[in-house]
Amino acid sequence: MEKFKEKIKECLQHEPAFCTAVCPFRLDVRDFMEKMQRGGFNAAYRAYLNTVTFPVIVSELCGEPCKGVCPRGSTDAPISMKLLEKASIRYARNLDPNSYNLPDKGKSIAVIGAGISGLACALRMASKKYRVTVYEKSDRIGGHLWKLLPSEIFLKDIRHQFMNEEYTLCLNTEIKSLEEIEQDAVYIATGAGGTDFGLERSETGAYASVRPGFFIGGSLCGSNTMEAIADGLQAVNSIERYLKTGNMNQPTPYSGTKIKLDSQLIKRQEPVIPAEDGAYTTEEAVNEAKRCLRCSCDACIRHCDLMKYYSKYPKRIGEEVEITIHPGTLDGNGTVATRLIATCNHCGICKEVCPLDIDTGEFLLQSHRAMREKGAMPWAYHDFWLRDMHAANGESAALCRIPEGYKQSSYVFFPGCQLGASEPSYVMESYRFLLKNNPDTALMLGCCGVPAEWAGDEPLHRDVIDSLREKWEGIGKPIAVFACPTCKQVFEKYLPEIKGVFLYQRLGELGIHPAMEGRSETVSVFDPCTSRYEPELQQGIRDLAVRAGFNLEPLPYEGKYARCCSWGGQVSVANPAFAREVVKVRTNQGNNPYIAYCVNCRDIFAAAKKPVYHILDILFGLNGSRHVPPTITERRHNRIRLKRNILKEFWRDDENMGEKANGFMLYMTPELRNKLNNEMILEGDVQTVIEHCENSGKKVADAETGHYIGHLQIGNMTCWAEYVPRDGGFELFNAYSHRMSIEEG
Amino acid sequence: MEEKKIICCRCNKELKPEKTYFSYLGHSYHADIMRCPDCGEVYIPEELVKGRMFEVETMLEDK
């Protein structure tokens, strides 16, 4: 975590855009464009005015260095900044400068030279209510602008911008010696070839001369017209620092930018050319502004679902997580990021897209652990899945066995806890095929422990990992064959001694011929986020799909940019709205049916009615793309049935049947069954509630309907059931659950 | 809202609202809940579970 906090300091979020980095004024073009893009000409003009001070002069004379660095330049054409600046002036409601009602600062400033640099400094100082005196040796203001612009244009702009400020202008006054000056600080801007009174620029600070209180800038120091104006404005910061602290060490403003942009990602958009008299109409201006990419380093927030959902960059997330883990108050109020921490899918895309490899996901995982250790992470977020893991690793569902007649195995098939829960045939068919080729292949049914990892429960996770290691050693340390990329990831991280391969690659190597015919149906392979660094697997799946006769079309996010289906991190309890949003975005990124090779992706999409095959459907000719996924209750039953069928077929073992389900029938409508599934209420839990109510007599009755209603806290959750006895079993009318415990004592 | 008539099956008494305590994440909270005046058997309708109760649960998680 400390590493992340260090790393995050390098985050490029606040780096300026390319244009801003080369602009003499450091105009915040992102901000200006945001206003222009929505037609906010007045707001855009205010931003522009506040930065450049003389908007008419600047928009006439600027050499547009921004155009040279605009990333659009290499794709279509750079943004026409000057025309947009002029449009902001043309269409702004109010062009008058701000009037600041501030008290007199009580300090006086001398500006030597009434060129545009000196005037810029004078205006900015006067608006801050310093007493400003400008000395000019000639009989007019404007300096070298007389050579560049018609005087009515620049004189009008200068007069306009000074309209709210008072200052003393001494024309025909040549300062011969600095000893004549009585003011508190001096800005010397005598223009190109002007006198510097023998003062040299000092390295100690921006615009500082070697003499305290004396600052130099403008064309005198080699600046061009725009830089000269900017010098005058920026020198104000140095002067103010000197007046307040007596130091001449104002840091030189940072220039340059570290952001990078992949120009291949820029969509071509032709520049807007003004139709008439070289100026934009409002509509043209808005359209041209909309071409602006408002460049920033925002890859993380664009690609990471969590950052996008919360509109928060890693830095902000880091800060909020910090105060959540270490709240400032004794009762722990203000733990703002608890839910955010529990919303990370742990898909790894944040690190993949970050130019500095900042791994926000890993940070959130560690934060999750810290929160759980403190007991500050709500148990409800992971309760269901930890119970599910417990069931998958329990006696009735888990298995680790070597085929009859062998003492050890060279391979072990590890399908993971969800493959058989979703579709027992996936495991049966795969194992049959593997056995045919390697008759000593062992089978391990169970969970890799990732729910505990995602719940931040390290001790529990360690127990699962230790038990897996022990079982693996017991069957002769075979090579693991994984169906689930998440399992493989967990094994690589925590059981690196176990060599693993993917089932699908293994099946391909063994020369499987896909049983389903693709009949040239166009589909898209959906790479699970856990396949990000498994390019061979990704290619292998595509090869198998093509071999089956499917046409493939790529998805916008695949390969190393694979994104999570919403399952990762098991975040749907902590943040159901987020999970729904992720599913929506993932299912809408391609119009074709998907081929998934993580069964969780398949089930999530199928539940959202997206046509999707599992690759094993194609290989073994099983379900079609409109397969309805099982409910959470059916998943539990599938695991038990799978173990029973496996033992029967491969070990001729009918006895080891595992636990029996509750011995009575529960009748309910399909709608209610659907509701229980959506609210993650297991039918087995409802049966336990009814059993408890019937055995203890602790139940109430609705006088009108005659329905019994009762409840029981099972683990942490409290479950309610509304039912009547029927045909030796019970008919269920409703069930619901809550997290709060009732203090019944 | 018209209250449903709910009868405790053990005591055969009608449930009446009574102050009841709940706890979640180390915080305690109370509300008037239908209870049997004799044995204290509770009834919480789904509207309350999905409404106010869920709000308080969410609030405590985000506290």
**A536 and A564 housed in the same domain:** yes
Q: How far away is chain A from the Cα of B49, in angstroms, using its nearest Cα?
A: 6
In total, how many domains does chain A have? 6
> What integer pLDDT is reported at residue A276 of this predicted model?
83
Q: How far away is chain A from the Cα of B24, in angstroms, using its nearest Cα?
A: 5
Q: What is the mean pLDDT of residues A700-722?
A: 97
Contact between A239 and A109 (Cβ < 8 Å): yes
Instruction: Kindly identify which residue of chain B lies nearest to residue A679, measuring between CA atoms.
Output: B50
Position A130 confidence tier, pLDDT thresholds 50, 70, 90: very high
Q: Testing the interface with B: which of A338, A695, A740, A743 to mutate, by most B Cβ within 10 A?
A: A740
**pLDDT above 70 coverage of chain A, percent:** 98
Asked if A736's CB is within 8 angstroms of B50's CB, the reply is yes
> Which chain A residues contact residue B46 at CB under 8 A?
720, 734, 736
Contact between B46 and B53 (Cβ < 8 Å): no
* Tokens standing for residue B15: 């449930």
**A89 and A136 housed in the same domain:** no
Q: What is the mean pLDDT of residues A365-370?
A: 96
Quick check: A577 contacting B, CB < 8 Å?
A: no
Q: What is the mean pLDDT of residues A696-704?
A: 96
The tally of CA atoms less than 13 A away on the side-chain side of residue A97 is: 24
> What integer pLDDT is reported at residue A244 of this predicted model?
95
**A481 and A413 housed in the same domain:** yes
pLDDT tens figures, A633-643: 999 999 999 99
Contact between A165 and A109 (Cβ < 8 Å): no
Quick check: A3 contacting B, CB < 8 Å?
A: no
Q: How far away is chain A from the Cα of B54, in angstroms, using its nearest Cα?
A: 7
Domain that holds residue A726: 666-738
Q: What is the mean pLDDT of residues A205-228?
A: 95
Q: What is the mean pLDDT of residues A383-389?
A: 97
**A120 and A194 housed in the same domain:** yes
> What integer pLDDT is reported at residue A151 of this predicted model?
95
**A152 and A216 housed in the same domain:** yes
Q: Which residues of A341-359 are buried (b: 16+ CB within 10 A; e: fewer)?
A: bbbbbbbbbbbbbbeeebb
> What integer pLDDT is reported at residue A176 of this predicted model?
92
Position B1 pLDDT exceeds 50: no
Task: Annotate A665-697 with DSSP letters as a single string.
Answer: -EE--HHHHHHHHHTT--HHHHHHHHHHHHHH-
Residue A114 in domain: yes
> What integer pLDDT is reported at residue A330 of this predicted model?
66
Quick check: B29 contacting A, CB < 8 Å?
A: yes
> What integer pLDDT is reported at residue A63 of this predicted model?
95
Burial class (CB in 10 A: 0-12, 13-18, 19+), A209: buried
**A330 and A311 housed in the same domain:** yes
Position A658 pLDDT exceeds 70: no
Q: At which of A620, A653, A679 does a domain end?
A: A620
Residue A625 in domain: no
pLDDT tens figures, A6-62: 888 889 998 999 999 999 999 999 999 999 999 999 999 999 999 999 999 999 999
> Which chain B residues contact residue A706 at CB under 8 A?
none
**A356 and A399 housed in the same domain:** no
> Which chain B residues contact residue A338 at CB under 8 A?
61-62
Contacts of residue A643, defined as CB under 8 A and 6 or more positions apart, other chains included, come to: A396, A397, A398, A399, A445, A658
> Which chain B residues contact residue A375 at CB under 8 A?
26
Strand order in the sheet with A168-170: A168-170, A131-135, A108-112, A185-188, A214-216
> What integer pLDDT is reported at residue A476 of this predicted model?
96
Q: How far away is chain B from the Cα of A345, in angstroms, using its nearest Cα?
A: 19
> What integer pLDDT is reported at residue A745 of this predicted model?
66
Regarding beta strands A108-112 and A131-135, do their DSSP bridges make them parallel or antiparallel, or are they unpaired?
Answer: parallel
Quick check: B49 contacting A, CB < 8 Å?
A: yes
Asked if A333's CB is within 8 angstroms of B36's CB, the reply is no
Touching A: B residues 3-22, CB under 8 Å: 4-10, 14-15, 20-22
Residue A102 in domain: no
Please report, for the domain that includes residue A145, its CATH number: 3.50.50.60
**pLDDT above 90 coverage of chain A, percent:** 91
Residue A654 in domain: no
Which pTM value belongs to this model? 0.83
- Looking at the partner chain, which of B4, B9, B44 has a beta carbon nearest the beta carbon of A699? B9
For residues A225 and A257, give the distance between their C-alpha atoms in angstroms, rounded to a whole number.
23
Instruction: Kindly identify which residue of chain B lies nearest to residue A700, measuring between CA atoms.
Output: B8
> What integer pLDDT is reported at residue A9 of this predicted model?
85
Asked if B61's CB is within 8 angstroms of A339's CB, the reply is yes
pLDDT tens figures, A370-383: 999 999 999 999 99
Residue A580 in domain: yes
**Coil/strand/helix, residue A482:** strand
Contacts of residue A126, defined as CB under 8 A and 6 or more positions apart, other chains included, come to: A132, A162, A165, A166, A167
**A146-155, A325-334, A472-481, B1-10: which has the minimum mean pLDDT?**
A325-334
Residue A503 in domain: yes
Residue A150 in domain: yes
**Coil/strand/helix, residue A256:** coil
**A370 and A388 housed in the same domain:** no
Quick check: B56 contacting A, CB < 8 Å?
A: yes
pLDDT tens figures, A589-622: 999 999 999 999 999 999 999 999 999 999 999 9
**A32 and A127 housed in the same domain:** no
**A214 and A238 housed in the same domain:** yes
| Residue ranges covered by each domain of chain B | 16-62
Quick check: A743 contacting B, CB < 8 Å?
A: yes
Touching B: A residues 666-725, CB under 8 Å: 697-704, 708-709, 711, 720
Looking at every residue in chain A, the average pLDDT score rounds to 95
Asked if B6's CB is within 8 angstroms of A709's CB, the reply is yes
> Which chain B residues contact residue A720 at CB under 8 A?
44, 46, 49
Asked if B5's CB is within 8 angstroms of A700's CB, the reply is no
* Tokens standing for residue A694: 């019937």
Position A89 pLDDT exceeds 80: yes
**A220 and A115 housed in the same domain:** yes
Please report, for the domain that includes residue A430, its CATH number: 1.20.1050
Q: Testing the interface with B: which of A680, A739, A741, A744 to mutate, by most B Cβ within 10 A?
A: A739
